[in-house]
Amino acid sequence: MTEPLNPTVTGGGVTLVVPQDWEQVDLPGTQLAIAGPPFVLDADGTTFRPSMNVLVADAAPEADIRMLGTEAVAAAHVVAEGVHVLAYDMWASPDEKRGRRLQFTYQQGDVPLYVVQWIVLRDAVVTTLTATYPVAQLLRVHQLCEDVASLALGPRPAR
């Protein structure tokens, strides 16, 4: 496999490839975060930056990805009023029974947002990678975030 040419950043044992025009940002409560260029949402100049962040936590010895996934769905429903959970599947990592991908949408003010969350349980560590961006930007950003997630959690070990 060819090594990516983009720079990488590492936090919590997870390495993210930084897409072109994206940069590492400080997001309290996360081990690592990157954000893209501001996307102009409205004629009034409102902008929103697409972002991805990493949360890493020790898992209890008896932790089970099925329970972690179920808890992620429950947590999504309380992110905001009117959350719509769209999709949930085993994530196609090499060890897919230990990964889940959750997709949901909700409205933040006037801005419809889309969230993809990858949850991986490996070696008693649960890693949650979350991508958030406006639905209006989805067709431009969706595959890019999938690629970043695959490189971070997929073919190469997360830690």
Other CB atoms closer than 10 Å to residue 149's CB: what's the count? 23
Q: Check binding of 81 to another protein (CB under 8 A).
A: no
Token reading at 149? 């997630």
Q: Within 36-75, which residues bind another protein (CB under 8 A)? A: 42, 62-64, 66-67, 69-70, 73
One-letter identity of residue 14: V
Task: With contacts defined by CB under 8 A, name the span among 3-11, 20-28, 100-108, 119-127 that binds another protein.
Answer: 100-108
Long-range contacts of 111-115, Cβ-Cβ distance < 8 Å, separation of 24 or more:
111/41, 111/46, 111/48, 112/136, 113/48, 114/138, 115/76, 115/79
Of 25 and 138, the one with the shorter C-beta distance to another protein is: 138
Q: Which of 4, 6, 135, 155 binds another protein (CB under 8 A)?
A: 135
Of 32 and 52, the one with the shorter C-beta distance to another protein is: 52
Q: Check binding of 125 to another protein (CB under 8 A).
A: no
Other CB atoms closer than 10 Å to residue 29's CB: what's the count? 7
- Least distance between another protein and beta carbon 86 (Å): 5
Of 56 and 76, the one with the shorter C-beta distance to another protein is: 76
Token reading at 129? 């990678």
Interface positions with another protein (CB under 8 A): 42, 62-64, 66-67, 69-70, 73, 77, 82-90, 103, 105, 107, 110-112, 134-136, 138-139, 142
